[in-house]
Structure 1
Amino acid sequence: MNNAADILDAIKKGKMSSYQILIVALCTLIAGLDGFDVLVVAYTGPAISINWGLAPTDLGLLFSAGLAGMGLGAVAVAPIGDIVGRKPTIMFCMVLLLVGMGLSAFTSGLGELAFMRLVTGIGIGGILANVNIMVTEYSSARRKALCVSLMALGYPVGATLGGIFSVFLIQAYGWQSVYLFGAGAAALLLPLIWIAMPESVDYLIAKKPANALERCNRILSKMGMPNLDLLPAHHSVTGAKPGLIALLGNGDMVSRLFFTSVVYFTVMMTCYFLLSWTPQILTRSGMTQTMGISGSLLMNLGGIAGCLVYGFLAQKLGPRALAAAFMVGLVITSVSFAAAPGASILLLVTAVAVGFCLFSAVNSLYVLVPGVFPVQVRSTGTGIAMGAGRLGAVAGPLLAGYLIGLGLDKTMYIAILSAPMIIASIVLVKLRPFLDAVKKSVDISLNPMPAGVSSPFGENSH
């Protein structure tokens, strides 16, 4: 009889099939669209600011509206993936994103645009948690860090291409065209998700929705895996039960939520300040609007290199240790960026270095955090942690607008807003026992084989 634990073990420890690679590629495309959508205000902000006469605090509100929506989507929408499945949740959020981006082009004031950024952000927040989990669950253990890094790579690639398109679109058609471009990209992705993206095998085995066995076997066939004869009676030694209330009622799960939320909050506070304000910082340093966007693009290019380096080295050096190194590196590069002379080549060079560390720090959270939570509450736990991150992402740009409005020196406010990365690097130490516990839980609860009995998939299947 084909055992579910052996199947899952083979997926995690075997060679990735072309179908698994296709799933990762599709999730990377979705992440690329999210990268563009998140930073669209950073690219259009200078033009909107001139057209509408916005103050720095007004622009900070626009930045934060989308990030607040992402937090709401991560906390309120992403957990739906644990109830109805990852795929339908992703599709629902993609529709929200499409509507929010499309209607943003027709707004006529700060309040209207901020509301549509909130709607768009809800879609992005729900998508990111579930796409992250899909890549994690369909990747082999050996290639997980690389696959998640490739997914995360979609973010700076999408942001970079979006920035390039934005320069031409704004000059030719105005800032509204950038939002219509994003809505069009979402409309193209929707049918691809419907046709090509499967449900999570881990979800089908753990939650057993209607026709779970048949659906699971169709997916396994596409992966070249043997079919299951039946689904196991799943009992998790962690005691995890689906649902937010059950999650918060478990002391061990609350500890997992606390530490992952702290890491996400601190990392996103610094990262989204830098992502949102870099074009403005560069233009305030004496560069033109186009050069300011170009500097942000260079940061994204540095992020592409950083994601690849993390993906290839995480398995060898350890994903947590490497994450801490990039977080400390972001503090150093941010201070160097702040100290660089205005409108200089050195300023652009340090922007690349900042991007190298910044995107790798965010990428490390995508690799580490889903593994902290059992599959039954993975969307809920990851979503809440991401929601805490969005609170940090809201706080960062808002605090930056306030500090800039007070007239603080560039070096001072950048140093203040890069300091949270030190806290994040320290808290990473607390994640190790939870990561080990989840791995042990899966091994015991799915496949409690007697000692000395080997798996048909090989002696290393446990």
Structure 2
Amino acid sequence: MSIDLRASIDLRPMGGFQWIAVSICVFLNLIDGFDVLVMAFTASAVSSFWQLTGAQLGYLLGAGLLGMSIGSLFVAPWADKWGRRPLVLVCLTASGIGMILSAASMTPVQLGITRVITGIGIGGILACSNVVASEYSSTRWRSLALSLQSTGYAVGALFGGLFAIFLIEHYGWRSVFLVGGAATLAMIPVVYFLLPESMDFLITKQPRNALLKINKLARRLNLQKLDQLPGRDDVAGENKSSVRKLMTREYMKKTAWLWAAFFLVLFGFYFVMNWTPKLLASAGQTAQQGITGGMLLSAGGIVGSALLGLLSTKFKTAHVQAAFLLITAITMVFFVKASGLPGYGVAVGLLLGVTVNGCVAGLYAIAPTVYDASVRTTGVGFAIGVGRAGGILSPVVAGFLIDDGWQPGSLFTTYAVAFTVAALVILKMSYTGKTKHERMEAAADS
């Protein structure tokens, strides 16, 4: 009967309850988009306030990503033990407090520590929200639902840039962190009252009162109720730890390719998103024009994430992802020169925003489909965590290269290589043998 419930969610049209769950996950990513890129928005102001070198600023830009990596690797896996919803609540609290403490930082070191705390919360939220959206989506609309997560991220980044310009001008850079922290904490009651626990988690792990909770969800989903819980022997992977299961023959190859793709894409993505405002300013534009350039990337991301999801309903997600990666690499080569040209700069900035955000959306759409419910949050969390390692290195490496005299155009061209290699990795991964879970997904889709 449990298998029938999961299959029903996969095969039936999406209902209002499911779209509400997906929408809350999108809003969580919206808040995270602001929280993640708040350091990029305030980079020029913070750098001037403490007279930071490029390398020192790179460390601050990487601090939040370090925290996200810790959250994805060591916090997110607990969602496969405690549940998705409780972990989101804990991580929202940590992230909100971290943002507020960032506003009160008296030294760059203190700001770096509070950015790590914020990142730990964000890392857990991103992995859990992505998984919940996947588990409440039908097979047909799953790629779109997961791509919308990145749309929320881009919306948060776009409006974060708009707020940052106003707040920095009128209240100083600390106010940007304070507003972000308040918005993050405001999501706690929304999640507590409206975000459902994962049906897959309840069936697989069977916590206390699992049957009652499953049947409440079944009623809201207009599905048949269970008379009793499935036997433990019917639950795949119950006797194997989720981390160890990633290393089994079933998942090892796909996990390795997925980790490589996340590392390369986030290495390039966080360079583009974190350094663009600062590099455009150093290339002769004003600080406000630099922030505006960063906002163009986020505006394009709103379209890019949704576009990738829509294309994935018609074409294979991996092929769409590879195309986005290659277009991103080409666009990066011309971005800095075009940014100073009226008309062309806006067009190229928007195109880069469309494709670079679509690249990330594609990874988030692919990752949950590789793993079954017993290991899904762990698998997605580890993939994001490894990707964050690339994100951590990215701004630090760029900072050292800037101190060494590298020009913005050369930096963008060099980082474009990461997207090119990532396209090859995605294509290789798509032709690697399917896991058992992917075979079941494909059968449901047919």
- Fold conserved (TM > 0.5)? yes
> Which residue number in structure 1 is paired with residue 436 of structure 2?
437
Q: 1:443 to 1:400 in 2, by over 3 A?
A: closer
Note if contact 2:103-2:177 (Cα within 8 Å) is conserved in structure 1.
Answer: yes
2:51 aligned partner, one-letter code: G
Q: 1:386 to 1:341 in 2, by over 3 A?
A: closer
Between the aligned partners of 2:87 and 2:181, the Cα distance in structure 1 is 18
Between the aligned partners of 2:342 and 2:252, the Cα distance in structure 1 is 47
> Which residue number in structure 1 is paired with residue 179 of structure 2?
181
Q: 1:82 to 1:345 in 2, by over 3 A?
A: same
> Which residue number in structure 1 is paired with residue 57 of structure 2?
59
> Which of the numbers 81, 84, 106 marks the counterpart of 1:83?
81
1:233 aligned partner, one-letter code: G
Q: Aligned runs of 1:56-455 on 2, under 5 Å?
A: 56-233=54-231, 242-247=240-245, 250-340=248-338, 342=340, 344-432=342-430, 433=432, 435=434, 437-440=436-439
Deviations 1:153-211 (CA, angstroms, capped at 9, x unpaired): 10010111111111111111111111110111012110010001111001111111111
2:213 aligned partner, one-letter code: R
Between the aligned partners of 1:249 and 1:149, the Cα distance in structure 2 is 27
Between the aligned partners of 2:181 and 2:243, the Cα distance in structure 1 is 35
Note if contact 2:266-2:388 (Cα within 8 Å) is conserved in structure 1.
Answer: yes
1:131 aligned partner, one-letter code: S
Q: 1:56 to 1:275 in 2, by over 3 A?
A: same
1:97 aligned partner, one-letter code: S
Between the aligned partners of 1:238 and 1:354, the Cα distance in structure 2 is 42
Between the aligned partners of 1:267 and 1:172, the Cα distance in structure 2 is 36
Instruction: State the 1:65 CA deviation.
Output: 0.3
Note if contact 2:139-2:445 (Cα within 8 Å) is conserved in structure 1.
Answer: no
Deviations 1:33-72 (CA, angstroms, capped at 9, x unpaired): 0000000001011111111111111111111000011001
> Which residue number in structure 2 is paired with residue 448 of structure 1?
none
Between the aligned partners of 1:11 and 1:369, the Cα distance in structure 2 is 19
Between the aligned partners of 2:148 and 2:161, the Cα distance in structure 1 is 20
Instruction: State the 1:236 CA deviation.
Output: 7.5
Note if contact 1:56-1:405 (Cα within 8 Å) is conserved in structure 2.
Answer: yes
Instruction: State the 1:300 CA deviation.
Output: 0.7
Aligned length: 445
Between the aligned partners of 2:127 and 2:368, the Cα distance in structure 1 is 9
Note if contact 2:339-2:348 (Cα within 8 Å) is conserved in structure 1.
Answer: no
1:162 aligned partner, one-letter code: G
Between the aligned partners of 1:27 and 1:245, the Cα distance in structure 2 is 24
3-state secondary structure, aligned to 1:79: helix
Between the aligned partners of 2:147 and 2:295, the Cα distance in structure 1 is 19
Instruction: State the 1:345 CA deviation.
Output: 4.3
Between the aligned partners of 2:445 and 2:182, the Cα distance in structure 1 is 45
> Is 1:40 aligned to residue 17 of structure 2?
no
Instruction: State the 1:257 CA deviation.
Output: 2.4
Q: 1:103 to 1:71 in 2, by over 3 A?
A: same
Q: 1:435 to 1:175 in 2, by over 3 A?
A: farther
2:385 aligned partner, one-letter code: G
> Which of the numbers 2, 17, 20 marks the counterpart of 2:18?
20
> Which residue number in structure 2 is paired with residue 453 of structure 1?
none
3-state secondary structure, aligned to 2:314: helix
Note if contact 2:64-2:115 (Cα within 8 Å) is conserved in structure 1.
Answer: yes
Q: 1:21 to 1:239 in 2, by over 3 A?
A: closer
Note if contact 1:220-1:226 (Cα within 8 Å) is conserved in structure 2.
Answer: yes
Between the aligned partners of 1:239 and 1:224, the Cα distance in structure 2 is 28
Instruction: State the 1:442 CA deviation.
Output: 7.4
Between the aligned partners of 2:415 and 2:247, the Cα distance in structure 1 is 34
Deviations 1:61-109 (CA, angstroms, capped at 9, x unpaired): 1110000110010000000011111111111110110110011010011
Note if contact 1:324-1:428 (Cα within 8 Å) is conserved in structure 2.
Answer: yes
Instruction: State the 1:327 CA deviation.
Output: 0.5
3-state secondary structure, aligned to 1:54: coil
3-state secondary structure, aligned to 2:251: helix
Is there any run of 5+ residues in structure 1 with no aligned partner, and where?
Answer: 445-459
Q: 1:169 to 1:273 in 2, by over 3 A?
A: same
Note if contact 1:286-1:343 (Cα within 8 Å) is conserved in structure 2.
Answer: no
1:40 aligned partner, one-letter code: V
1:415 aligned partner, one-letter code: T
Note if contact 2:204-2:235 (Cα within 8 Å) is conserved in structure 1.
Answer: no
Q: Percentage identity across aligned positions? A: 35
TM-score (norm 1): 0.92
Between the aligned partners of 1:391 and 1:233, the Cα distance in structure 2 is 39
3-state secondary structure, aligned to 2:228: coil
3-state secondary structure, aligned to 1:83: helix
Instruction: State the 1:342 CA deviation.
Output: 4.0
Which moves more between the two structures, 432-441 or 367-376?
432-441
TM-score (norm 2): 0.95
Instruction: State the 1:338 CA deviation.
Output: 3.4
3-state secondary structure, aligned to 1:117: helix
Q: 1:374 to 1:43 in 2, by over 3 A?
A: same
Instruction: State the 1:241 CA deviation.
Output: 5.1
Instruction: State the 1:435 CA deviation.
Output: 4.7
